[in-house]
């Protein structure tokens, strides 16, 4: 008699129970089956205490949860790398994006690792707002049994550097959680810091957890970038060709907004409505000459950039940020130059912030000249990073093209015009047939409704209209049955109605059911998009009650906040709710992906 037959002879289970158990065994890992054996043993011995062996079995099954809270994709990428790194070292872990995290289950977590970016003025990423609201509220549970670690991503050019990471760290400690490793706040050049942190956190987690396999005794100190050779990313951009670069605001507009079309034929690039396009830009040659002249540096001097020897001119052209001044930059230059004015300035935080806002780097170098070497200059500057722009086309309609809508940053300071680095490059330097380095950054937090019958309310100002152009192209292609309503705001009807002909065509075809416009400068009393939301509150509430999804795209610090306040008023006034209940209602819409924002 073989072992299976012997088992069948003594098995006390009926055939249905046995089939279920065999199916469960087949679908479980060795560790899960070990845990189940302990579970059933305890069930059969209810009057005995948990044994040491049983406790170890439970420990084996404990998972580490890694939460990714990303705004531009960096936190998402690092979370994926950490997940892969842990798996390579046999550490069981669960990777989840903050938008999908069932945050009320945090009380059951044992080890939680949060990788989070900060956006705007110290705010959490869009996908982490519901999680943040819960953890900061009175409903948050005590977390005395939780161990955690936080890796923050930020930009030291902002006053509230890595504030989202700091806020989560403070709150988790208030709730009783214990830090495995002190929070790390990383600047935009984070690679070395991440590698060091990831190795430390792996070692600490190893000591906290029971080993999962015999192969896990030695740490594998390998952390490879996640890169599919068939896809492009920040580190491996595609080389595409510009097809069109057209100004789409009027001659007398206060804004310069460009519609740019890029040829991606034969590049194997795919994208979805809601995604962003990353653009690697180049600095303006005249700007570089002014900086080098002010600092008495020969443009042909050689410097070493990532093990390549190139001229300082080429280094500034392609590798360093030259258009954004920061408080740290002023402090560093003041210390180096020993300039009396700058050293006095940094003692006054308010004056320093005003100076940074109104004084570009080139002006600081010109006004306070100092002898500096090429190597000293590049050690002083911040590395250049790509800019992200919401994609304003649907691949279903444009096929081998990708479109973006770019608002040009242009300031008149002391009689001279200063352009933003990326927008200046895109608007002033790029012409049809020029080459451009690009990559697609997926944005799963800003997607069309899965059910094509779902109605949409889209709210945008300025270049925030971009993703909604893509949304409508896709809905047109899909012949979606859901109703569509767009709110759009800009200064002037005659000068700033972006893509006007297309919206009128959608109205005529019936795809766009309603368009509500707010022109802030076309009358004596300024009218903004939030005013129109309140004006149409009753009808908007009717759409929301019927299941409509709400989308917002625009400036995070001003427009998006004003729009959210207006939405809370609409919910409160039309449903007999107080503001706190309205906030809970809006939060529930966000968790159900019926309230999504793409803000910048």
Residues 128 and 68 grouped into a single domain: yes
Assess if residue 114 is contained within a domain.
Answer: yes
Arithmetic mean of pLDDT, 484-509: 97
Question: Could you tell me the pLDDT band of residue 238, with boundaries at 50, 70 and 90?
Answer: very high
Which residues are CB-contacts of 23 (< 8 A; sequence separation ≥ 6)? none
Least Cα distance to 315 among 304, 326, 329 occurs for 304
| CATH number of the domain within which 555 lies | 3.40.50.80
Instruction: Give the whole-number percent of the chain exceeding pLDDT 70.
Output: 86
Mean per-residue pLDDT, 211-225: 49
Outline where 220-373 has alpha helix (H): 285-294, 312-318, 327-337, 340-345, 349-358, 361-367
What pLDDT, on the 0 to 100 scale, is given for residue 217?
45
| Residue 177: DSSP 8-state | -
The two tokens of residue 371 are: 């002898």
**Is the predicted pLDDT of residue 308 greater than 60, yes or no?**
yes
Same-domain pairing of 376 and 477: no
Task: State the binding site.
Answer: 70-75, 117-120, 153-162, 323, 387-390, 405-407, 420-423, 520-521, 526-530, 562, 600
In a domain, 364, yes or no: yes
Residues 528 and 465 in one domain: yes
Residues 92-115, mean pLDDT to the nearest whole number: 91
Domain end, chosen from 330, 356, 380, is at 380
Same structural domain, 338 and 431: no
Question: According to the 3-state scheme, what is the secondary structure of 432-473?
Answer: CCCEEEEEEECCCCCCCCCCCCCCEEEEEEHHHHHHHHHHHH
Pair of tokens at residue 16: 């249905």
pLDDT tops 90 at residue 197 = yes
Half-sphere exposure of 143 (CA within 13 A, CB side): 28
Alpha-carbon distance of 292 to 366, in angstroms, equals 10
Contacts of the segment 33-41: beta carbons below 8 A, 24+ positions apart: 34/60, 35/60, 35/61
- Once rounded to an integer, what is the mean pLDDT over residues 319-345? 93
SS3 content of the chain, % helix, strand, coil (to 5): 45, 20, 35
DSSP letter (8 states) at residue 103: G
Q: At what angle do helices 537-545 and 561-574 cross, to 10 degrees?
A: 80
- Collapse the DSSP code of 114 into the 3-class scheme (helix H, G, I; strand E, B; otherwise coil) and give the result: strand
Where residue 279 falls among pLDDT bands split at 50, 70, 90? very high
What pairs with residue 94 in β-bridges? 65
pLDDT at residue 426, as a whole number: 97
Dihedral pair phi/psi, residue 427, rounded to 5°: -90, -35
The answer to whether residue 14 is domain-embedded is no
| Whether residue 70 is found in the same domain as residue 185 | yes
Domain that holds residue 261: 238-281+386-441
Task: Give the CATH number of the domain where residue 104 resides.
Answer: 3.40.50.360
- Binding-site residue ranges for NADP(+): 520-521, 526-530, 562
Q: Is residue 323 in some structural domain?
A: yes
For residue 256, give both structure tokens: 């310069």
Question: Binding site for FAD: which residues?
Answer: 323, 387-390, 405-407, 420-423, 600
Angstrom distance (rounded) from CA 427 to CA 411: 14
70 in any annotated domain: yes
pLDDT for the residue 157: 76
Query: Do 470 and 569 belong together in one domain?
Result: yes
Q: Calculate the dihedral angle through the C-alpha atoms of 138, 141, 144, 145, rounding to the nearest 10 degrees.
A: -160
Of 486, 484, 556, 475, whose CA–CA distance to 516 is shortest? 486
- Same-domain check for residues 309 and 256: no
pLDDT band at residue 9 under the 50/70/90 scheme? very low
Are both 105 and 143 inside the same structural domain? yes
Indicate the residue among 348, 380, 412 that finishes a domain: 380
Cβ(269)–Cβ(232) under 8 Å?
yes
Q: Give me the DSSP letters along 226-252.
A: ---TTS-BTTB-EEEEEEEEEE-S-TT
As given in the structure block, the two tokens for residue 234 are 């920040």
pTM of the full predicted structure? 0.79
Q: Which residues fall in the annotated binding site for FMN?
A: 70-75, 117-120, 153-162
Cβ–Cβ under 8 Å, residues 407 and 426: no
Domain membership flag for residue 10? no
Q: Give residue 226's pLDDT.
A: 52
- How many folded domains does the chain comprise? 4
pLDDT range class, residue 277, cuts 50, 70, 90:
very high
Contact 124, 132 (CB under 8 A): yes
pLDDT at 56 (0 to 100)? 39
As a whole number, mean pLDDT of residues 470-482 equals 97
Is residue 52 scored above 50 in pLDDT? no
């Amino acid at each position: 008699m073989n072992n299976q037959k012997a088992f069948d002879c003594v098995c006390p289970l009926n055939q249905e129970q046995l089939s279920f158990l065999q199916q469960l065994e087949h679908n479980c890992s060795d560790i899960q089956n070990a845990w189940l054996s302990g579970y059933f043993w305890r069930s059969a011995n209810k009057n005995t205490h948990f044994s040491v062996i049983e406790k170890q079995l439970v420990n084996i099954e404990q998972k580490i949860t890694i939460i990714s809270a990303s705004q531009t994709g960096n936190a998402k990428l690092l979370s994926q790398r950490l997940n892969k790194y842990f798996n390579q070292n046999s550490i069981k872990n669960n990777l989840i994006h903050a938008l999908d995290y069932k945050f009320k289950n945090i009380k059951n977590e044992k080890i939680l690792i949060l990788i989070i970016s900060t956006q705007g003025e110290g705010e959490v990423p869009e996908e982490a707002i519901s999680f943040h609201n819960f953890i900061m509220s009175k409903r948050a549970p005590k977390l005395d049994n939780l161990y955690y670690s936080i890796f923050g991503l930020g930009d030291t050019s902002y006053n509230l550097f890595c504030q989202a990471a700091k806020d989560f760290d403070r709150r988790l400690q208030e709730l009783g959680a214990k830090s495995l490793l002190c929070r790390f706040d990383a600047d935009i050049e984070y690679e070395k810091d991440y590698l060091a942190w990831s190795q430390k956190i792996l070692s600490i987690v190893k000591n906290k957890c029971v080993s999962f396999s015999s192969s896990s005794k030695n740490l594998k100190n390998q952390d490879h970038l996640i890169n599919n050779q068939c896809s492009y990313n920040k580190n491996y951009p595609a080389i595409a060709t510009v097809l069109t670069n057209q100004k789409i605001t009027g001659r007398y507009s206060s804004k310069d907004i460009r519609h740019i079309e890029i040829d991606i034929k034969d590049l194997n690039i795919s994208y979805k409505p809601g995604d962003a396009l990353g653009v690697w830009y180049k600095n303006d040659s005249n700007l570089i000459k002014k900086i080098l002249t002010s600092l008495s540096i020969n443009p042909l001097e050689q410097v070493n950039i990532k093990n390549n020897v190139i001229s300082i001119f080429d280094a500034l052209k392609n590798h360093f940020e030259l258009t954004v001044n920061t408080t740290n930059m002023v402090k560093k230059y003041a210390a180096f130059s020993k300039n009396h004015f700058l050293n006095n300035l940094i003692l006054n935080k308010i004056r320093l912030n005003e100076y940074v806002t109104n004084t570009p780097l080139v002006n600081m170098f010109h006004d306070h000249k100092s002898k500096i070497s090429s190597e000293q200059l590049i050690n002083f500057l911040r590395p250049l990073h790509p800019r992200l722009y919401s994609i304003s086309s649907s691949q279903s309609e444009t096929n081998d093209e990708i479109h973006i809508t770019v608002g040009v940053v242009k300031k008149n300071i002391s009689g001279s015009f200063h352009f933003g680095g990326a927008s200046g490059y895109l608007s002033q330097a790029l012409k049809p047939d020029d080459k451009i380095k690009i990559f697609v950054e997926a944005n799963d937090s800003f997607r069309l409704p899965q059910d094509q019958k779902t109605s949409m309310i889209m709210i945008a100002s300025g270049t925030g209209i971009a993703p909604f152009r893509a949304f409508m192209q896709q809905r047109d292609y899909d012949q979606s049955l859901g109703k569509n309503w767009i709110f759009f705001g800009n200064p002037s009807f005659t000068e700033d109605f972006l893509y006007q002909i297309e919206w009128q065509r959608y109205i005529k075809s019936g795809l766009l059911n309603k368009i509500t416009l707010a022109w802030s400068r076309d009358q004596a009393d300024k009218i903004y998009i939030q005013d129109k939301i309140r004006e149409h509150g009753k009808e908007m509430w009717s759409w929301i009650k019927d299941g409509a999804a709400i989308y917002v795209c625009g400036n995070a610090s001003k427009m998006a906040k004003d729009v959210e306040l207006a939405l809370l008023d609409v919910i409160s006034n039309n449903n007999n709710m107080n503001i706190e209940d309205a906030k809970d209602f809006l939060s529930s819409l966000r968790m159900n992906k019926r309230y999504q924002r793409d803000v910048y």
